[in-house]
A and B are shown apart, each in its own frame.
Chain A
Amino acid sequence: MKKQSLTNKEETFKVLIAEDNAVSARILKKNIEDWGYEVVMAQDGDEAWKAYQDEKIRLAVLDWMMPKINGLDLCRRIREIDHEEGSKEYTYVILLTAKGQQADLIKGFSAGADDYITKPFNRHELKARLKTGKRIIDLQRQIMEQADRDGLTGLWNRKRMFKILEKEINRAQREERPLATIMIDVDNFKKINDTYGHHSGDSVLVEVSSYLQKSIRNYDEICRYGGDELFIILPNCNLAMTERIAERLRQCVSETKIKTDTGTLDITISLGGVSSEIFLSDLTPDKLVISSDEALLKAKSNGRNCVVIKKKKDKM
């Protein structure tokens, strides 16, 4: 059985350098860029704090003594955000200290710093410390990614699905755009398991997931809701578009021969969709899930291998 690979997009590793001293800042920038990192520069604590909030900073090199907000306070603020917002990824913080400040290092670690380097720094030491920071951030990212993936299909799991829904609802409301969802069920999945065995059933789920993933737009998200039920989140998608996409997905699966260890199977899916346009009150993840599920049940009762889109205005 071919397990679906994770679809994590490669991102540049952004390093924030907060240093008011022009010479030191230029040396840091030159070196850190030479080592392949993308650098964001800040000349004081205020600028650094703004850059941290605006950019996806993975690692921060903060001078201890800076105008406006010093490195120690900046570090505390960064950690407060880490605690408040579960979705924000951890930022590795390296404090830059002068030799005389080494006695204060315990304060730095208490404020949430991960490491420190003494000025004037040794280039090789700085490189090694950045590499250590990157290794830890990459490992953390992998662990977070795995915790949010379904072990069989590699799709986002149910926990992540609700997080994505929250985020997309907020975005849709902010941008005044529709948001659609589709619940999908593999037709007669129990029968496949009973006839060909659970191993074949698993293969069917993996293959169907893979076909669907290849068929959606690159900004759509596909998740395993549970059992043989999959869930697709479609930003900026109205009812008509949702119907077209769902129908395309249905055709794609029905026209594809699904390979399993016990042979090639003809598989079909039923789909139930909804778009935010039908809701008259505030949109919530639960409303989208429940309405999509209701539409899916209708599709199944209509004889399966079909699409039902809920169009009636909903006061829920």
Chain B
Amino acid sequence: MSELKSLNDTKPIDLPSALERIGGDESLLHELIEIYIEDFLEKHDLLKQAIEHGDFNTIKEIGHSLKGSSGNLSLTNLHETFYQIEMSGREEDIERARYFFHVLNKEFQKLRDFFPKQKTQFSG
């Protein structure tokens, strides 16, 4: 039993669905998670600033972009969270953006716990 499959019962990723999308290639999944985490960290600070400044266009764009990545990796909760962030940008709802930014950090930590061997570090 592989390392990934043994972790299948935890929540942040729908593992069978993610693996199915890439033909069962586990090493590729790790590579993709690494790309995702790097992208997340890069955009996380930008998103934080955008929320602080009420920059709804940036909130919408970052939400949309990471919603796509999350969906492709079957990161179910993160996908939903970024959807909510994108919508808060579209509807210019700063309270909703703040709330889901908070949710986002918790969901991201779950992902990090799920993939502890991924190299990129997250400072929160």
Contacts and interface: CB of A to CB of B under 8 A. Distances in A.
A and B bind: yes
Interface of A: 20-24, 26-27, 30-31, 34, 65, 98, 100, 119-123
B22 to A, nearest CB: 6
B20 A123 contact: yes
B23 A22 contact: no
A26 B72 CA distance: 10
Contacts, number: 57
Contacts of B73: 23
Contacts of B71: 98, 119-120
Given A65-B64, A120-B72, A120-B74, A23 B23 contact: no
Contacts of B35: 22-23, 26
Determine which residue in B35, B36, B39, B69 has the highest number of CB atoms from chain A within 10 A of its CB, and name it.
Answer: B69
B96 interface: no
Contacts of B83: 100
A123 to B, nearest CB: 5
Given A21-B68, A119-B72, A26 B23 contact: no
B86 to A, nearest CB: 8
Contacts of B64: 65, 98
B65 interface: yes
A27 B68 contact: no
Contact of A30 (B22, B39, B69, B79): B22
Contacts of B23: 30-31, 34, 123
A27 B68 CA distance: 12
A70 to B, nearest CB: 12
A20 B67 CA distance: 13
B21 interface: yes
Contacts of A120: 21, 68, 71-72, 74, 79
Interface in B19-54: 20-23, 25, 28, 31-32, 35-36, 39
A120 to B, nearest CB: 4
Contacts of A27: 21-22, 32, 72
A24 B68 contact: yes
B36 A23 contact: yes
* Nearest 4 Cβ contacts at the A-B interface: A120-B71, A23-B69, A120-B72, A24-B72
A231 B97 CA distance: 71
A62 to B, nearest CB: 14
A26 B38 CA distance: 14
Nearest to B73: A23
B88 to A, nearest CB: 13
B68 A119 contact: yes
Contacts of A26: 28, 31-32, 35
B79 to A, nearest CB: 8
Interface string B1-30: 000000000000000000011110100100
B90 to A, nearest CB: 9
A147 B21 CA distance: 41
A23 B22 contact: no
A173 B30 CA distance: 53
Contacts of B25: 30
B28 A23 contact: no
A232 B31 CA distance: 54
